[in-house]
Amino acid sequence: MTEPEFATRRSARAAAPATAPAPTGRAGRNLPVAIATGVGLGAAAAAALVIHPVAFVVVICIAMVVAVWEMRQALSEGGLFAPFVPVAIGAVSMTVAAYLRGAEALVFAAALTLVATLIWRVADGLSGALRDVGAGALILLYPCLLAGFAALMLAEPQGQWRILVFILITISSDIGGYAFGVLFGKHPMAPKLSPKKSWEGFAGSVLSCAAVGAIVIPLTLDGLWWQGAILGALTAPVATIGDLIESSLKRNLGIKDMSNILPGHGGLMDRLDSLVLVIPLMWVALRIIAPH
Q: pLDDT tens for residues 51-110?
A: 999 999 999 999 999 999 999 999 999 999 999 999 999 999 999 999 999 999 999 999
Alpha-carbon Rg of the chain, whole angstroms? Answer: 20
* 136 found inside a domain: yes
pLDDT at 12: 47
pLDDT per residue over 142-151, tens digit each?
Answer: 999 999 999 9
In a domain, 24, yes or no: no
pLDDT of residue 14: 46
**Any domain includes 4:** no
Other beta carbons within 10 angstroms of residue 260's beta carbon come to 11
Within a domain: 16 = no
Q: What is the model's pTM?
A: 0.87
Decide if 249 is inside a domain.
yes
pLDDT at 173 over 80: yes
- Residue 195's SS3 state is strand
Residue 170 inside a domain? The answer is: yes
Residue 258's domain comprises 29-289
Proportion of the chain above pLDDT 70, given as a percent: 90
Among residues 208, 211, 213, the alpha carbon closest in space to that of 176 is found at 208
Query: Looking at the 3D structure of the chain, how many domains does it have?
Result: 1
Interval 202-222 mean pLDDT: 97
pLDDT above 70 for 163: yes
**13 domain residue, yes or no:** no
- The overall average pLDDT reported for the chain is 90
Residue 262 pLDDT: 87
Residue 255 has pLDDT above 80, yes or no: yes
* Cβ proximity of 165 and 221 under 8 Å: yes
Cβ contacts of 27 within 8 Å, gap of 6 or more:
178, 181, 182, 196
Q: What is the mean pLDDT of residues 228-250?
A: 96
> What pLDDT score was predicted for residue 92?
98
What are the helix (H) ranges across the chain?
A: 3-15, 31-51, 53-76, 84-101, 103-122, 129-139, 146-155, 159-184, 199-221, 225-253, 268-289
Residue 185 lies in a domain: yes
